[in-house]
Amino acid sequence: MKIKFTETILRDANQSLIATRMPFSEFEPILETLDKAGYYSLECWGGATFDSCLRYLNEDPWERLRKIRKACPNTKLQMLLRGQNLLGYKHYPDDVVRMFVKKSVENGINVIRIFDALNDLRNIEVAVDEALKNGAEVQGTICYTLSPIHDLESYVKTAKDLKAMGVQSICIKDMAGIMSPKEAYDTVKAIKEAVALPVVLHTHSTTGLGFMTLLKAVEAGCDVIDTAISSFSGGTAQPATETMEYVLRQYGYETGLDTAALKKINDFFKPYRAACLKEGLLNPVVMATDTDALGYQIPGGMLSNLVAQLTAQGKLDKLQEVLEETPRVRKDMGYPPLVTPMSQMVGVQATSNVLNGRYKNISKEVKNYVKGEYGRAPGEISDELKKLVLGDEKPMECRFADTLEPAFEQTKKELGETATCDEDVLSYIAFPQIAEKFFAARDELKKRTFSYNITLCEEDK
């Protein structure tokens, strides 16, 4: 029996625990060991890493990827991609999606995990197609959520649809850490039986279910599990790599992992974890077990957002009402999975409903959602909400991206010399203002280095 591990320290654990603030220089010395540890893949790019590199770390995300590639020639590099939203929060035209995927593979990505927040597969079709064309391994992804319309049957159907698109494996993505061991066992088993593809399970330790959930998933035939090296595991991140390795090895699984390398990796990150705690970058709260999400069936991150929103308005006494309104709003919206950006949309609307009256104010995002701009709602949107937003109009039938003009070539022309390569153009399209600032800082640095070199040469004479 074999079980494979995907290590999340560089992406999801980094994102979930310290808001993706780990600079390349911090993990560079351990890349060689990560490469030798025997992981199935290293999740190291996509998600919030791209935004964070440009916005906070003054790093070129593409260059980061190339450097990781160079340091890790033997391990598959993996990224997370939000389908038609790429790494941002809006829909991009197809030519941009294709170019982004192509360049990701060219710069070193092997495995692309592609998802859509609504599980509307039309929103991942183009990215999947392009990734396959470029020889990447595609993990077709199902966003896991709990609702009266999401059941085993619906997940099996999505898995079959993903298989029909040509994906090489199916990832079950439990972004909120609410999947129980029983649900994991049943879901993995049902999907494995329905589609003969490898199944990957992604969960978070938020509610404390993580280890049990992974173990039962493996018992049901799960092929790959996502874990984080122990010093950056637990809480809102993944269950610990070493713990799962230990347990599964006892059960006779061949993990392929080198435990000495794992220890070295963990020892390397321990002082960094201590520094993050000291600086307040790592808040002990995110490392704790929070079972509230189980009762409310809303993700921990969303719960803390609601508390923050209400506190800012001096209305924390309304929390209970907002928590009761949240599932009603979600029902009205046709049960979207509570993942970005849906969790924010539902939370803000529920808060507004309690503070201002039901649907007195409807946010622009909820209006666009009801119009169909984010894709098809998983269930039926309530008549009341439809009437308020659409009047007598019909929601959009096509993909929102079908209404967008191609943008890559035009942007490239407009940027001129500001962009030094196609990757720059993509960074700009994804995050225009931030990329522009980054380019300016980079140019400034180049000029300075250049004049510094000249000065040195003159002094040499």
147: three-class secondary structure by DSSP: strand
Q: Among the candidate windows 8-16, 228-236, 282-290, 322-330, which touches Co ion by CB under 5 A?
A: 8-16
Token pair for residue 289?
């077990």
Q: Which is nearer to Co ion, 177 or 378 (CB)?
A: 177
Q: How far apart are CA 424 and CA 161, in angstroms?
A: 34
Q: State residue 199 phi and psi, 5-degree precision.
A: -115, 135
In the numeric block, the tokens 């940027």 are attached to 415
DSSP designation for 237? S
Q: In the stretch 352-391, what mask flags binding to Co ion with x, by CB under 5 A? A: ----------------------------------------
User: Residue type at 426?
Assistant: L
One of 7, 12, 245, 424 touching Co ion (CB under 5 A): 12
Q: Taking the complex as a whole, how short is the minimal distance between the CB of residue 293 and Co ion, in angstroms?
A: 14
Q: How far apart are CA 228 and CA 273, in angstroms?
A: 13
Q: Taking the complex as a whole, how short is the minimal distance between the CB of residue 177 and Co ion, in angstroms?
A: 9
Q: How far apart are CA 154 and CA 117, in angstroms?
A: 15
Q: Taking the complex as a whole, how short is the minimal distance between the CB of residue 370 and Co ion, in angstroms?
A: 27
Q: List residues bridging with 77 in a β-sheet.
A: 42
Nearest CA-CA partner of 404 in 81, 131, 84: 84
Residues 6+ apart with CB under 8 A from 162: 121, 140, 141, 142, 170, 195
Residue 181 C-beta-side C-alpha neighbours within 13 Å: 10
Q: Which is nearer to Co ion, 294 or 370 (CB)?
A: 294
Q: Taking the complex as a whole, how short is the minimal distance between the CB of residue 175 and Co ion, in angstroms?
A: 5
Q: Which is nearer to Co ion, 143 or 354 (CB)?
A: 143
DSSP designation for 150? B
Q: Taking the complex as a whole, how short is the minimal distance between the CB of residue 337 and Co ion, in angstroms?
A: 13
Q: Which is nearer to Co ion, 46 or 372 (CB)?
A: 46
Q: Among the candidate windows 11-19, 35-43, 90-98, 355-363, which touches Co ion by CB under 5 A?
A: 11-19
Element (H, E) at 36: helix 31-36
Q: Which is nearer to Co ion, 12 or 424 (CB)?
A: 12
User: Residue type at 283?
Assistant: N
Q: Taking the complex as a whole, how short is the minimal distance between the CB of residue 47 and Co ion, in angstroms?
A: 8
Q: Which is nearer to Co ion, 200 or 257 (CB)?
A: 200
Q: Which is nearer to Co ion, 286 or 401 (CB)?
A: 286
Residues 6+ apart with CB under 8 A from 360: 352, 353
Q: Taking the complex as a whole, how short is the minimal distance between the CB of residue 204 and Co ion, in angstroms?
A: 6
Q: Are strands 169-173 and 137-143 parallel, antiparallel or unpaired?
A: parallel
Q: Among the candidate windows 10-18, 88-96, 376-384, 392-400, which touches Co ion by CB under 5 A?
A: 10-18
Nearest CA-CA partner of 194 in 166, 158, 218, 226: 158
Token pair for residue 212?
């049990």
Q: Which is nearer to Co ion, 14 or 107 (CB)?
A: 14
Q: Which of positions 155-194 make contact with Co ion (CB under 5 A)?
A: 175
Nearest CA-CA partner of 211 in 228, 193, 198, 187: 228
**Residue count, binding to Co ion (CB under 5 A):** 2
Q: Taking the complex as a whole, how short is the minimal distance between the CB of residue 236 and Co ion, in angstroms?
A: 9
Q: Among the candidate windows 12-20, 97-105, 211-219, 395-403, which touches Co ion by CB under 5 A?
A: 12-20
Q: How far apart are CA 66 and CA 312, in angstroms?
A: 42
Residues 6+ apart with CB under 8 A from 158: 119, 121, 142
Q: Which is nearer to Co ion, 237 or 322 (CB)?
A: 237
Q: Taking the complex as a whole, how short is the minimal distance between the CB of residue 100 and Co ion, in angstroms?
A: 20
Q: Among the candidate windows 7-15, 126-134, 163-171, 260-268, which touches Co ion by CB under 5 A?
A: 7-15
Q: Which is nearer to Co ion, 134 or 340 (CB)?
A: 340
Q: Which is nearer to Co ion, 183 or 325 (CB)?
A: 183
Per the CB < 8 A criterion, the answer to whether 10 and 18 are in contact is no
Is residue 226 at the binding interface for Co ion, with CB under 5 A as the rule? no
Q: Taking the complex as a whole, how short is the minimal distance between the CB of residue 14 and Co ion, in angstroms?
A: 11
Q: Are strands 111-114 and 76-81 parallel, antiparallel or unpaired?
A: parallel
Q: Taking the complex as a whole, how short is the minimal distance between the CB of residue 211 and Co ion, in angstroms?
A: 16
Q: In the stretch 304-343, what mask flags binding to Co ion with x, by CB under 5 A? A: ----------------------------------------
**Residue nearest to Co ion according to CB distances in the complex:** 12
Q: Where does this chain bind Co ion (CB under 5 A)?
A: 12, 175
